Amino acid sequence: MATTRNVQQAGKASERVAILLATRNGELFLDEQLASLARQTHPLIDIWASDDGSTDRTSAILSDWQARWDKGAFHIAAGPCRGFAENFRSLILNEAIDADYMAFCDQDDIWEAGKLETALASIHDDGMVKPVLFCGRTLNVSSGGEAIGLSPFFRRQPSFRNALVQSIAGGNTMVLNRAAWQSLRQASEGTGFVSHDWWAYQVVTGVGGTVRYTAQPQVRYRQHAANLIGANTSWAARLTRVSFLMEGGFRNWNDINMRGLQHNRDMLTPDALKALDLFEAARKGGFVSRLANLWRSGVYRQTRKGTIALWLACAMARI
């Protein structure tokens, strides 16, 4: 007689995962990334690659793997050529993609063999009806694959109030169940976003879903000169972020995110709407009004220093 554990394992093994892979001139590391996807212990994986006008051997590498991919289907499409966010958005909106789970994938990382299996097990702990997003830390590695160090571990509870001002995990760590994926697709139909990972965090928490954040890294996140978004752990990176804040870059990002969230107000929970409106008020008005509304909103960043920086930015009208 099959045990409950065996039945659950068999059920997970029969579930299909769609990996959304955005590429552009990724020939240096793409083959190693695809090899790590092929080593996944989960058996049913469809690859959906969107190539954003590569001029190197990226297309040839994708075609080579398409010919020998044996875990499911392997699709290659032309991207919109409007930046990485729109490339991922084109994949999110692709109605031909149908699976039990969706995972974002960059072209230059290395996935641990149990990444998907670990994510699916964690998502199952929360059930399959409610939107669930799995994400976590990464092991940062050099261009040659040598370990550099872990990304920060965030200890505060993931929530919409945090998501309004911070993305806690890279898209390369994220796996969404069908309910979360459907919410993300619906929310992305009429609006763009700053980054697919930050947007996913905002949408899933905003509709009342659950975020399962793990301290155990399942992705080796490669740091190299061509990275669009690096680990941001050096002092130079910190100074760059301060400069970005003072020049209004963070406020511009918030403008984009707020437009997207306001466009999808009908999807948000009453509590998320309350936080959204108070945070919007904290971005306007006079000095005292801004600070009072930020306090009332309950919005926070994951670290004490980050939250202090948020309050200073609010005081200077930079959020």
Looking at residue 234, its pLDDT comes to 55
Rounded to whole angstroms, the Cα distance separating 65 from 82 reads 25
Residues of the chain with CATH 3.90.550.10: 15-222
pLDDT averaged over 10-residue windows placed end to end, the chain, 319 residues: 46 87 97 98 98 98 98 98 97 97 97 98 85 97 92 96 97 97 97 97 98 97 70 57 73 96 98 98 96 98 94 95
What is the residue whose two structure tokens read 């996807």? 37
Looking at residue 68, its pLDDT comes to 97
Is there a contact between 225 and 286 (Cβ–Cβ < 8 Å)? Answer: no
- Judging by DSSP bridges, how do beta strands 101-105 and 175-177 pair with one another? antiparallel
45 in helix, strand or coil? strand
Taking Cα atoms as reference points, which of 250, 255, 261, 156 lies closest to residue 202?
A: 261
Looking at residue 14, its pLDDT comes to 87
Residue 166 vs residues 150, 172, 258, 269: alpha-carbon distances, Å: 18, 16, 13, 19
Structure-block tokens of residue 224: 């190299």
Is there a contact between 236 and 129 (Cβ–Cβ < 8 Å)? Answer: no
Rounded to whole angstroms, the Cα distance separating 5 from 3 reads 5
Q: What is the pLDDT of residues 47-78, one digit of tens each?
A: 999 999 999 999 999 999 999 999 999 999 99
Burial (CB count within 10 angstroms: exposed 0-12, middle 13-18, buried 19+), residue 164: buried
Rounded to whole angstroms, the Cα distance separating 34 from 68 reads 11
CA angle 211/16/30 to nearest 5° reads 85
Instruction: Tell me which H or E stretch contains 279.
Output: helix 270-282
Other CB atoms within 10 Å distance of the CB of residue 314: 22
Q: What is the pLDDT of residues 176-187, one digit of tens each?
A: 999 999 999 999
Cα(first)–Cα(last) distance of the chain, in Å? 59
Rounded to whole angstroms, the Cα distance separating 202 from 80 reads 24
Rounded to whole angstroms, the Cα distance separating 194 from 37 reads 26
Class of domain 15-222: alpha beta
Looking at residue 239, its pLDDT comes to 59
Question: In terms of DSSP H, where are the helices of the chain?
Answer: 4-13, 30-38, 58-68, 84-92, 115-124, 160-163, 178-188, 196-206, 235-246, 249-263, 270-282, 287-297, 304-315
Looking at residue 159, its pLDDT comes to 98
Structure-block tokens of residue 301: 């960043």
Rounded to whole angstroms, the Cα distance separating 306 from 48 reads 36
